A and B are shown apart, each in its own frame.
Chain A
């Protein structure tokens, strides 16, 4: 008796691009070639650089390239995940500017589409796409970091508005952004993840004080936001009063789902690392070569895994706790690659990111690679998620 059926079909797995996908890549490449600024923009965490990046968002939007994965009804291109990955590959290859409105495009946008009212969608989505509203995240508080359910900033409903009091911190992009979204305690008697609501707040309201926090590189990539009797209209509540946790979890999923934008970034870095090594090979030991190969191998694996996941999602699958695996993998890889680069650079590794040396980019990336294991849920929290939800270990 044959366990294995004789009438086996030839594999329908296909790990390469279709003609349509190649044509799409060419279209992206052509547009980027004639639109990506010739000179790199100033850092987006400076006043002038922020406005340059806002202008880039406008340029992208004019070409209809700003919200490519959004459905057409919301002004996007409705790209599938594979096209999106191709878009990102060309984007990183062209060294196009960092997206200053990532919080809006990738986090709040999809959340609004799922939970927003018709009015909210028409008010916010287009302004996000054009770069008129740049969004900051407002999750963490001084006493609520990894333990986000410990949020204490209150929003008390008074007639047609919420009155907000408290403090948010580590709010990415808040130094220069126009709006913030986050969780606020609307039920003062509630505890933990109950009684929280998801509210959208313009940062120019009376009673709001934004205090930029210089990061490791000296630039204010995040800020504290103080709320002192800030009145926000009730229309700015996203979803139901008290449903904030559920909505925030969906948003956090989108953030980890951002892994789907990342492979190109790491593949390009690995390729540059190899180039850097080959230029300085005579000054390095063979140990460095092994790390350079590891960087290539891991970034290659990361890309393969993302295409595998994207294919499964296109076939109707979903990702849940698995995205925690990706977050750990890419953040450790990113750090390893930059650490290796600094070793290759020898004594130049002590230069600052402002120096005119070729080393500067690596040093900037090196500093930023320390943020990866922390933001979007620390790697320790991700490991708890993996152990409890994927491996079934006890809480």
Chain B
């Protein structure tokens, strides 16, 4: 038992953090909103050149073969920065799915994919509106019984409006030609659901931390009654509550990631658990952060909502708290193992 990060893992986390601090500022995100072009191709290109986009592809496919824990630590930072490009919840998902995909589909993808250089989007009943189709070369589509690949030119789509302007989401109206296969569907579907839950959980924990940090700074600066409002206990306690929730959601993310890397038979449960905890933490972070900002928190001008909006989306996609609750309940009640202390590890 050694539930601790390696120096390498911390280095990856720090490296992506420092890149995003410079390249994914609130200003750059707002520029994307205004131009209605939140997918920043320059930043995407940099992420590709830095090796981030294909970090979890195997080495023989041009990746780093990165383990899930390191990946989760990096995704946490993408959440913290409010990164608009869907690296975590589309690119990393697809990278992980590649070995499981039916060969007809994986061939079609590899022809288009160019070792992660090209963007492919994904849609699933748990996240039905694919992102940035206009920037993609195609779409992987899950329905209730099979997995499909559709090249961009073979479908008719239209943009629909997300509550998070960083997320350009689409609706598919019709498809001309698809490559589809029911092969391996169950395994594929549970793999993508678990990973979707984990990726959004890791993003949420970063987003929650960002909202807490913004709030801590704000309440230290803003004065009323001649004092910083952060010196009032009502404000302190609100933010302390958020801090508690984040603290106890984080290890669930790291454990779920570890379980995936280790092919632990409980990994789907662990991913559901991570998402459940992170959704709860992020929900409280949204509520208490906005409250701590007072009326400023209710404005478009204040940066807080950049992160709050993404958190709302990430709570909703890839299984919300209620959905995860259901998965957890079904798993626990169908288990033949003794629950309690022996069930955890």
Contact = CB atoms under 8 A, between A and B. Distances in A.
User: Bound pair: A and B?
Assistant: yes
A10 interface: yes
Nearest to A2: B51
B4 A300 contact: no
Contact of B341 (A13, A264, A322): A264
A188 interface: no
A393 B218 CA distance: 10
Interface in B195-224: 212, 216, 219-220
A177 B344 CA distance: 37
B243 A308 contact: no
Given A391-B212, A393-B219, A82 B4 contact: no
Given A4-B64, A325-B247, A391 B216 contact: yes
Interface string A1-27: 111111011111111111001000000
B3 A308 contact: yes
A390 B345 CA distance: 30
A271 interface: yes
Nearest to A4: B51
Contact of B251 (A12, A90, A301, A393): A301
B340 interface: yes
Contacts of A292: 329
Nearest to A291: B325
Nearest to A328: B244
Interface in A280-306: 289-290, 292-294, 296-298, 300-305
B69 interface: yes
Interface stretch (A51-59, A102-110, A248-256, A379-387): A379-387
B332 A296 contact: yes
A300 to B, nearest CB: 6
Contact of B52 (A4, A308, A314): A4
Interface residues of A, number: 72
B254 interface: yes
Given A18-B1, A82-B1, A293-B329, A328 B240 contact: yes
B254 A301 contact: no
B241 A329 contact: no
A15 B3 contact: yes
Nearest to A82: B1
Interface string B331-345: 011000011111111
A308 B50 contact: no
A293 B272 CA distance: 11
B91 to A, nearest CB: 15
A394 B12 contact: no
A279 interface: no
Contacts of B237: 380, 383-384, 387
Contacts of A14: 1-3
A72 to B, nearest CB: 22
B36 interface: no
Nearest to B261: A11
B328 interface: yes
Contacts of A298: 248, 277
B44 to A, nearest CB: 15
B236 interface: yes
A192 interface: no
A267 interface: yes
Contact of A305 (B1, B12, B236, B248): B248
Contacts of A11: 6, 9, 67, 69-70, 258, 261
25 contacts: A8-B12, A11-B67, A12-B2, A13-B2, A13-B4, A13-B9, A13-B69, A13-B258, A14-B1, A15-B2, A271-B339, A292-B329, A294-B325, A297-B276, A301-B273, A304-B251, A304-B344, A307-B251, A307-B345, A308-B254, A315-B2, A326-B247, A387-B240, A392-B220, A393-B219
Q: Closest 9 A-B residue pairs measured CB to CB?
A: A387-B236, A271-B340, A383-B240, A89-B341, A304-B251, A393-B230, A271-B339, A3-B50, A386-B240
